[in-house]
Amino acid sequence: MPTYDIRDKTTGKVEEVWMTIAEKEAYLKKNKHLEQCIGMPEIVSRTDGLRKPDDNFRDILREIDKKHKGGRKGNNMNKHSDF
């Protein structure tokens, strides 16, 4: 169910509500002093941006390279081709 930011026109107070679209429309129609605030959606991420992989992960990649004899270096799959 979506959340909406609803602003009180008289006080300017913004409140987040959780309801269906139909419920929101009925709620706003009943409460003329309220309006929906349209804004940017929050992007939730558990990372703080791009980071380098830690040493343990790089060690795993090195082991994969050793076992596959540099398979990533000789791989032509990522090269652009003419169609």
> Does residue 15 belong to any structural domain of this protein?
yes
Q: How many domains is the chain built from?
A: 1
At 12, phi and psi to the nearest 5?
80, 0
Residue 22: which domain range?
3-37
> What tens-digit pLDDT sequence spans the chain (83 residues)?
788 999 999 999 999 999 999 999 999 999 999 999 987 666 666 666 677 778 888 899 888 888 887 555 555 555 555 54
pTM of the model: 0.46
> Does residue 64 belong to any structural domain of this protein?
no
Which residues are CB-contacts of 28 (< 8 A; sequence separation ≥ 6)? 6, 34, 35, 36
> Does residue 55 belong to any structural domain of this protein?
no
> Does residue 16 belong to any structural domain of this protein?
yes
Lookup: tokens for 80: 């652009």
> Does residue 66 belong to any structural domain of this protein?
no
